[in-house]
Structure 1
C-alpha cells in the first residue's frame, strides 16, 4: 500500500462515519451523497486490505482495524488543521529543528544555557560555531536559521537584527607587566612585548587591527591564532599582550587568574553582538530567542569575569 491510496478527505469521511455510526448521517454532515461516502469507505478497506466496518449488525460498528484507523485518522486530521498556522502563520513559534550559528567567542557556555531555555518550543537543534564570515556564508546559503554574531547584517534587506549586548575590548597583560595607565604606556608596551593577535581572517582580528590603525600604532606581527583560548593561554604564559572582549574571557575563564585584565586606555573600542534571523519566517520565535539570550547574559554569565575585574560590570550594556 502507498500513501497515495488515501488522502485527508477520505480520512475525514471515515471519521464522520465512525463518530455518527451511519453513512447516511455522515453524508449529511459532509454534504455528500450516501453512495459517495460508501465508495470512500470501500476504497479505504481496499487500500488497507482489511474490513473497517462490521455491516452485519445495526447500527454498524467499527472492527478492531476500524478502531485503529479512527484513532490515527483523528491524530492526522488534528495535525493537518494546525498546518496553516504552524507553517505560514504570523505567530508560529514551533520549529522541528532550529539551526543556530554562534561566533566562537560567545559559544561556550552561552549556547548550552540558551538551549535549556528554548527546548520546550524546539525539539531538535543543530549548532555551528566559528568565525563571523563563515557563519554569514552559511546563513546566506540557508544552512542556518539564527545567528549570534557581531555582524549586524545592516547591509541586507529582509533580515532582522536585534542587539544582544555591547561590550568593550579590554587589555590583557602578563601578571608581571606593569599597569598601563595611558596611551603612551600602551605604545611603549607595543614596542617591548609582542601583541598576541586573532587572525586577520576573523572579524575580531580585523577590529583590533582597525583600532590600532586609528591610533596610528604599527604593531609588528609575531603571533596570530584563530582560537581566543590560545590567545589567552599565550598571555597567561607571559608570551605577550592582547585585546579581547569580555565574552572571550568568559569562554576561557580558566586563564584569568594568570593574567591582568585592565581597561583599554583609549576610549570607544567596543563591539556589538546581534541575534540575526530572516524577516517574517520564524513567527514569534526570534523575539523569544532574543529574550532567552538576554536572560542568559543577565543571569550570572559574567560572574567569573566580574569577580576578577569588577570595574567591567557597568561597561557591558544592551
Structure 2
C-alpha cells in the first residue's frame, strides 16, 4: 500500500527540521508541543524509521529525515506554484514564467524571443532577471527561477540543459587601435594587448580566462567593468580591447566608432544553454516557452 501524507504534517516536519526544536515549531505553527510531537511520531511510523536524532542540542535530521525534507520542500513548493498559477488564470493571466539569463543572451536574441512568445500568448507574465552565469545556476537550483540561460563554460551543477543558441565572440577595438586595419586576429596575438575585462563572474570572463590559461598566458587588464555598454565606451577611448559577442557589439560599432575583428579560433562560436531542474517537470507555460526557444535557435 502506498504511504499517504497530509500537508499539515509535512509543514510541521519542515518547521521542526528548520528550527531544531518541537517547542519553537509549535510557536511557529500555532500548535501545542504535544500536537507537534504526535505529528512527527506519526510520520516516523509511516516511514518506518526515525526522522530525527533527539539530544540536548535539539532535533537533528537522520538520513531518512534529510530525504523527507528534500521531497517535502519540492512538493510544498510545487503546490504553492500551482495555487499561484491557478489564481492567475482567474485574474486573466495565463501562466507565469520566472526567467534568469546572462547579460549577453538578453542583449541579443532572447529579448526578441520573449516578445515573439508574448505575441502568441499575450496573457503570459514574465519575471526576467539579468544575472551572471553562476547566479543563474544558483537561482534555478534553489527554485527562484524556472528556467535559466547560461554560457557553455558555466558549470550547470546537476541541472538539465538544452541547447538554446550560439553566438560568436569577437575582439572589439577602437578605430585608432593598431589592430583596427585587420578583419581577423588570433587569440594569442590579441593577448599581447591590454583588455577591458568583463565582470569576473560572467560567462564571457570565464571563457576569456580559460582560453588564456590553455595558452599558458595571462590577460593584461587594468580596467574591469560590469556592463557591455561600459566596456564599449572604454574600448572607444583606446584604453584597451574588448572580448564580446558580435551581436552585443553590433549596435555600438557606429556609435562609438569601433571595429569588430573575427577571432580565428574554433571556440569563438559559443553555445548558450537553457537550464532547469527538470525540463520534463516544467509547468506547461514554461515548457512551451522552452520548446519555442529550442525550435527557433539558429
Q: What TM-score do you get using the length of structure 1 for normalisation?
A: 0.54
Q: Deviations over 1:81-119 (max 9, x none)?
A: xx9xx99xxxxxx96321111111221364543333333
Matched residues, number: 202
CA shift in 2, pair 1:265/1:217, >3 Å: farther
Q: Distance in 1 between matches of 2:186 and 2:117?
A: 44
SS, match of residue 217 in structure 2:
coil
Could you tell me which runs of 5 or more consecutive residues in structure 2 were left unpaired when the two chains were aligned: 1-81, 87-92
Match for residue 123 of structure 1? 124
Q: How does 1:109-120 map to 2 (within 5 A)?
A: 110-119=109-118, 120=121
Q: Distance in 2 between matches of 1:148 and 1:201?
A: 15
SS, match of residue 115 in structure 2:
helix
8 Å contact kept, 2:137–2:157 = no
1:146 and 2:144 correspond: no
8 Å contact kept, 1:117–1:292 = no
Q: Deviations over 1:262-305 (max 9, x none)?
A: 111344333211122232222554553245336776xxxxxxxx
Q: Distance in 2 between matches of 1:167 and 1:295?
A: 16
Shift of 1:128: 0.7
SS, match of residue 239 in structure 1:
coil
CA shift in 2, pair 1:266/1:229, >3 Å: same
Q: Distance in 1 between matches of 2:236 and 2:296?
A: 27
Q: Distance in 2 between matches of 1:125 and 1:200?
A: 28
Q: Distance in 2 between matches of 1:256 and 1:287?
A: 39
Q: Distance in 2 between matches of 1:284 and 1:127?
A: 18
Q: Distance in 2 between matches of 1:112 and 1:154?
A: 22
Q: Distance in 2 between matches of 1:183 and 1:103?
A: 26
Match for residue 175 of structure 1? 175
RMSD of the TM alignment (CA)? 3.2
Q: What TM-score do you get using the length of structure 2 for normalisation?
A: 0.57
1:219 and 2:219 correspond: yes
CA shift in 2, pair 1:125/1:117, >3 Å: same
8 Å contact kept, 1:170–1:244 = yes
CA shift in 2, pair 1:194/1:164, >3 Å: same
Q: Distance in 2 between matches of 1:294 and 1:281?
A: 17
